[in-house]
Amino acid sequence: MSGRVIVITSGKGGVGKTTASANIGVALANTGASVALVDMDIGLRNLDILMGLENRVVYNLVDVIEGRCKLRQALVKDKRVPNLSLLPAAQTRDKTAVNAEQMKTLCEELSTLFDFVVVDSPAGIESGFQNAIAGAHEAIVICTPEMSAVRDADRIIGLLEACKDQITEYRLVINRIRPHMVKNADMMSVDDVLEILSVKLLGVVPEDEEIITSTNRGEPVSGTDNTRSGLAFRNIARRLRGDDVPLMDLDLPTTGWMNRIVKFFAPNTARV
């Protein structure tokens, strides 16, 4: 078996790479596929927190590469979805602890064990990024509809274009869109960003406070059914598996006056 190795990257930090990695990993695993999540942000480990697995980390990616443990020993099985495993980054090392060749070998080995290998890339375009893409066949570029994020995404797309032979497909996820601001012409729309970047769209994720709550709980939103961001990530996972899923209607919760009434009287519980 040879699984798909997908790198999640953005250039700019703070646009939601790790959140997207965790959620896409969980959503893919919930479709029945076996998934390995690889945290490549060596020295700034966070994916374990988002997954709620930080207390179960024993070995890490650098331990595997340096031969201190077997790959299987370093993989942390998810507590909710059994076919999902995390390969944590090292927290006390830095990006120079691994090289591209080692990453390629590691990704190859993981792809013999899992249907999907989802690699969470660090921010930036230096060695950490180069290592993260070294073993990937596909890429997901995350950006928010802000100018700095779009500019950095464009740079990343240029770099991915340059290794076309290895990374045969890349698609864009527009994260943290605020439908209300787009409506008021205060912010670039999904179409604006797509037109500027001339790139294929994989999905759109609305800004959602539930992301913060879910991070605090260590339970990615895509694992529960009642959040809009979670639905968006599940749709992305289905598209990755080849399903033709239309973009969700982003307008629903901000314009519905019934919603406002419900929210007004029960601000903490309403989630329509």
Which residues of this chain interact with other proteins, rule CB under 8 A? 147, 150-151, 154-155, 158, 180, 182-189, 192, 195-198, 255, 257, 260-261, 264
Shortest spacing between CB 224 and other proteins, in angstroms: 28
Give least dist CB 229 to other proteins, A.
22
Q: Which C-beta is closer to other proteins: that of 101 or that of 191?
A: 191
Closest distance between other proteins and the C-beta of residue 266, in Å?
14
Q: Minimum CB separation from other proteins for residue 123, in Å?
A: 18
β-partners of residue 203 are 173
Cβ atoms of 220 and 23 within 8 Å: the answer is yes
CB-based contact 262:272 (threshold 8 Å): yes
> In the complex with other proteins, which residue's Cβ is closer, 224 or 259?
259
Is-contact 223 240, C-beta < 8 A?
no
Nearer to other proteins, 155 or 217 (CB): 155
Q: Whole-angstrom Cα distance, residue 44 to residue 148?
A: 22
Least Å distance, CB 72 to other proteins, is 42
Give, in order, the Cα–Cα distances in Å from 126 to each of 74, 121, 151, 156, 253.
Answer: 26, 11, 16, 11, 40
- Smaller CB distance to other proteins: residue 94 or 249? 249
Q: How far is the CB of 139 from other proteins (least distance, A)?
A: 16
Q: Cβ(89)–Cβ(47) under 8 Å?
A: yes
Whichever of 84 and 150 has its CB closer to other proteins, that residue is 150
Using DSSP, state whether 114 is helix, strand or coil.
coil
Please name the residue that has the structure tokens 């590691």: 106
Q: CB of residue 170 vs other proteins: minimum separation in angstroms? A: 13
In the complex with other proteins, which residue's Cβ is closer, 189 or 227?
Answer: 189
Q: Which is nearer to other proteins, 89 or 182 (CB)?
A: 182
Parallel, antiparallel, or unpaired: how do β-strands 4-9 and 116-120 relate? Answer: parallel
Nearer to other proteins, 108 or 192 (CB): 192
> CA 172, 174, 180: angle at the middle one, nearest 5?
155
Residue 151 Cβ vs other proteins, minimum distance, rounded to whole Å: 6
- Rg of the chain, C-alpha, whole Å: 18
At CA 42, angle to CA 80 and CA 46, rounded to 5?
40
**One-letter identity of residue 110:** L
Rounded to whole angstroms, how far apart are CA atoms 198 and 203?
15
d(CA 61, CA 85): 13
